[in-house]
Amino acid sequence: MKLTKEKIIIAVLLVILIWFCTAIVRLENYHYAVQVGFCQEYSNLDLVKKDECLNKTETRTNWTWHLLYGLKIF
């Protein structure tokens, strides 16, 4: 099997697409956690701990929901 320029471009674009999807999922998870009110036990004075808590929080049952909401499909 010979690697052509087209196959390399498709592989690079696929890696970039996966990278963008993971960024959308992470940001939508954070956005929804803030919107719903997760990590309210941390005051606004302790923003570092609140940010860590929001980054670790799983708000939906599957990553596909984050992707669908982040892309405004739902």
pLDDT one-digit tens code per residue, 48-71: 999 999 999 999 999 999 999 999
pLDDT > 70? residue 1 = no
Q: Per-residue pLDDT tens for 11-54?
A: 999 999 999 999 999 999 999 999 999 999 998 889 999 999 99
The answer to whether residues 33 and 39 touch, using CB atoms and an 8 Å cutoff, is: yes
pLDDT at 26: 97
pLDDT at 3: 79
* Tokens representing residue 61 in the block: 């049952």
Please tell me the pTM assigned to this model. Answer: 0.86
